[in-house]
Structure 1
Amino acid sequence: MIAAHPDDAEFSFGATVARLVDEGARVTYVVVTDGAQGGEDPDEPAEELVATRYAEQREAARVLGVADVAFLGFPDGSLADTPELRLALTREIRRHRPDLVLTHQPLRSLQFPIGASHPDHLAVGQAALNAVYPYARNPRAFPELLAEGLPAHRVAEVWVPGHEHTDLLIDVGRTAERKITAILAHRSQFRGSRDPLTDVQWVIDRMRGNGTALGREYAEAYKRIITDAAAAAGPTPPTRPRDGEVPVVSP
């Protein structure tokens, strides 16, 4: 899972991550920025806020059963799809060698609330897809990674939030509550709130709406991108639809 900020993973993918873990997958987080702009107090020292947000992200990851959290520490609010970011994400993909990458939608949504299209989200979505293809799989790309003992790796597929392009719904009826618990672990993001649970009601409503489309209580919605057809057609990992099936997952 490659996300721009601490808490993005939980908001976008939390219930799916919990289901993947429950079904035996090993999930790793890669958080690109330091989260230093995620606060309302302009006088709070950046290093204190960053430390708080890193701790909250680790706590949220534990709620979902995530195996490891890597923080790349890029400055919050100034990401771009640069060679430096592509190299950093390619390094993480080759290090962890995932079958599936979850990351941000690289296209601005004109339908969903504007926060879904935060510039850092768009930059990470674009850079992550570029890292998946062509850089992670090309042994001639970033030769310094070979010197680090990180050979080329082919990711089978990528899931990004569906927004206007949904073609995959994941039944998360058993893990939706853990998603909300994990979101609320980011306590610094709810300072001054009278009722944080009310503040995230929209998350519950969105999962419920997706669930209605699936005929289940709750679901999360994605655009599924096949990046290696041969790998995607191989042994079926948790929650992956098999070829020939309707691309909607349910128990």
Structure 2
Amino acid sequence: MSDAPERALVVMAHPDDADFSCAGTVALWTRAGTEVVYLMLTDGEAGGDELTMDSAEIGAMRREEQRRAAAEVGVEDVRFLGYPDGRLVPTLDLRRDISRVIRQMRPERVIIPSPERDWDSIPASHPDHMAAGEAAINAVFPDARNPHAHRELLLEESLKPWAVPEVWVVGGPEPKQHTDITDVFDRKLAALAAHESQIGDIGEIEPMLRKWMGITAVEAGMPEGSLAESFRAVHIG
């Protein structure tokens, strides 16, 4: 893959967010040799429709599911910040914690959820997703590159500033960056299937995914039968 970065960071609100939005692209990158880190801001302990387990048990289960899902697309480094699911807000503390990971791994590309509400798809605009996007883009610019932001990262943890050159936004308006994931769609499905607590039968959602990604591929001008993921690529000055 000619445009695969050397290092990439995926910042998402919940376990399974990356697998729905960008796991196919990640599979292509890792196959090309990219080092990818997943950063989940919550443990997803508020996921599910039934109150049959306590939050700690659900969180532990979903962390393990995310690790298995990540392995399906070649990601070995999965990190969790443990912020409360369903109550995520783009605080300075959250920006600092994302900035820390950016400075630690020094990615060339960061994938984030859109901080903008999609009025045509309210379920896609979960408040946690928007908060994650807002905190992540602010961590990219200006925080991670600014030595005066979160001074403890530099002075106490010796983490030097890092300027991320590019961000790919998922779920936002005007997606103009498309990735052909036809050859790795099975790996995306395997990653999603790892989230057993959220997806009872992967076979039930596979047709929906194929339709959704087929439409995306057509809009991108790809050959008939192709499947694609879409992003808005933002170059940071």
> Could you state the TM-score of these two structures normalised by the residue count of structure 2?
0.91
Give the CA deviation at 1:162.
4.8
Unaligned runs of 5+ in 2: 1-9
Q: Tell me: CA distance 1:163–1:87, structure 2 relative to 1, closer, same or farther (3 Å).
A: closer
- Sequence identity, in percent? 41
Give the whole-Å Cα distance in 2 for the aligned partners of 1:77 and 1:67: 26
Give the CA deviation at 1:204.
2.0
Q: Is 1:9 paired with 2:18?
A: yes
Which amino acid letter does the alignment assign opposite residue 202 of structure 2?
A: P
RMSD: 1.2
Which amino acid letter does the alignment assign opposite residue 231 of structure 2?
A: Y
Q: Is 1:131 paired with 2:150?
A: no
Give the CA deviation at 1:94.
0.6
Give the CA deviation at 1:200.
4.2
Q: Match of 1:115?
A: 123
Give the whole-Å Cα distance in 2 for the aligned partners of 1:74 and 1:167: 31
Q: Is 1:141 paired with 2:149?
A: yes
Please state which structure has a larger fraction of its residues in strand.
2
Give the whole-Å Cα distance in 1 for the aligned partners of 2:178 and 2:18: 17
Q: Match of 2:62?
A: 53
Q: Tell me: CA distance 1:202–1:154, structure 2 relative to 1, closer, same or farther (3 Å).
A: same
Q: Match of 2:38?
A: 29
Give the whole-Å Cα distance in 1 for the aligned partners of 2:210 and 2:86: 27
Q: Match of 1:80?
A: 89
Give the whole-Å Cα distance in 1 for the aligned partners of 2:48 and 2:39: 21
Give the whole-Å Cα distance in 2 for the aligned partners of 1:36 and 1:201: 28
Deviates more, 1:155-164 or 1:174-183: 155-164
Alpha-carbon contact 2:113-2:171 (below 8 Å) kept: no
Deviation digits for residues 64-111 of structure 1 (CA, Å, limit 9, x no counterpart): 001300010001000111111111111111111100000101100112
Give the whole-Å Cα distance in 2 for the aligned partners of 1:42 and 1:162: 29
Instruction: Choose the corresponding residue for 1:215, options 212, 222, 227.
Output: 222
Q: Runs of at least 4 residues of structure 1 off by over 3 A? A: none
Q: Tell me: CA distance 1:108–1:80, structure 2 relative to 1, closer, same or farther (3 Å).
A: same
Give the CA deviation at 1:48.
1.2
The number of residues matched between the two structures is 224
| Counterpart mapping for 1:144-159 below 5 A | 144-146=152-154, 147-159=156-168
Which amino acid letter does the alignment assign opposite residue 129 of structure 1?
A: I
